[in-house]
Amino acid sequence: DAKTTQPTSMDCAEGRAANLPCNHSTISGNEYVYWYRQIHSQGPQYIIHGLKNNETNEMASLIITEDRKSSTLILPHATLRDTAVYYCIVRVGSYSGYALNFGKGTSLLVTP
Amino acid sequence: DTAVSQTPKYLVTQMGNDKSIKCEQNLGHDTMYWYKQDSKKFLKIMFSYNNKELIINETVPNRFSPKSPDKAHLNLHINSLELGDSAVYFCASSHGTSGNSEQFFGPGTRLTVL
């Protein structure tokens, strides 16, 4: 699976959009970009994933650059409950056991 | 209803003991996993089962033995516990056949070895 690079930490004011970047310059054509988050002491939670096109769901939007070498997770209106560690993970979409390789992630602090 | 449940939530035991952690999912998934999160917060895959068959076995001491009695359960048995086994263990499940599916995680079991 391709390696990802994320900032160690970020701050965001409550109500503002939180934009979390991720670099994955060695991503292969069949690798998906996944985002998970882990709120303190809880199990990781799936947020969103995509291959080429931008994706949006009720939690967030995922913007993937045209060359697919980087992506941005957008939380449109951050709340205090969005404070968590956010993990950007790339992995193949074909059957490979589907294990997720979590890196260090970005620790997002949403402030009042 | 809890999608992925683990018992116990906390486990404190002495070195050398044998313990088990249970995991159950009610999502109808066919793939289940065990992850370990150490004190530095790194989350790493340990095992993965698909339809009760082991498909991933990372470099884990053979003191750790997963057991899947059916597709809804994946238990983790640990023999001769060591101090370094102290960590939070997460169970997860997914619909494994698509290759493009999210994983659902349990709440974790915090194991402390004294």
Instruction: Give the pLDDT mean for A32-54.
Output: 93
Name the closest residue on chain A to residue B48, using Cα atoms. A97
The 3-state DSSP class for residue B94 equals strand
Question: Closest approach of chain A CAs to the CA of B73, in angstroms?
Answer: 17
Instruction: Give the pLDDT mean for A68-84.
Output: 97
Are B77 and B65 in contact, with CB atoms under 8 Å apart? yes
Q: Cβ B4–A45 below 8 Å, yes or no?
A: no
Q: Cβ B99–A96 below 8 Å, yes or no?
A: yes
What is the pLDDT at residue B98? Answer: 53
Interfacial B residues in 25-44 facing A (CB < 8 Å):
31, 33, 35, 41-44
Most confident range (mean pLDDT) of A16-20, A23-27, A48-52, B93-97 is A16-20
Are B91 and B33 in contact, with CB atoms under 8 Å apart? yes
Residues in chain B within 8 Å Cβ distance of A33: none
Are A105 and A7 in contact, with CB atoms under 8 Å apart? no
The 3-state DSSP class for residue B8 equals coil
Residues in chain A within 8 Å Cβ distance of B104: 46
From A12-16, A55-59, B45-49, the region with the lowest mean pLDDT: B45-49
Are B94 and B49 in contact, with CB atoms under 8 Å apart? no
Beta bridge partners, A110, equal: A12
Q: A96: pLDDT confidence band, cut at 50, 70 and 90? A: very low
| A106-111 and A9-13 beta bridge pairing | parallel
Question: In this predicted model, what pLDDT tens digit does every residue of B9-55 receive, in sequence order?
Answer: 999 999 999 999 999 999 998 889 999 999 888 899 898 888 878 87
Name the closest residue on chain B to residue A50, using Cα atoms. B100
Decide: residue A109, CB within 10 A, 0-12 exposed, 13-18 middle, 19+ buried.
middle
Q: DSSP string spanning B41-52?
A: --EEEEEEEETT
What is the pLDDT at residue A90? Answer: 87
The 10 Å CB-count burial string (b at 16+, else e) for B75-111 is: bbebeebeeebbbbbbbbbbbbeebebbbbbbbbbbb
Question: Closest approach of chain A CAs to the CA of B52, in angstroms?
Answer: 13
Q: Do you find a cis peptide bond into B69, omega within 30 degrees of 0?
A: no
Length of chain B: 114
What is the pLDDT at residue A59? Answer: 95
Disruptive mutation site among A35, A98, A104 for chain B (greatest number of B CBs within 10 Å): A98
Name the closest residue on chain B to residue A104, using Cα atoms. B42
- Phi, psi of B25, rounded to the nearest 5 degrees: -125, 140
Question: Closest approach of chain A CAs to the CA of B33, in angstroms?
Answer: 8
Q: Cβ A43–B56 below 8 Å, yes or no?
A: no
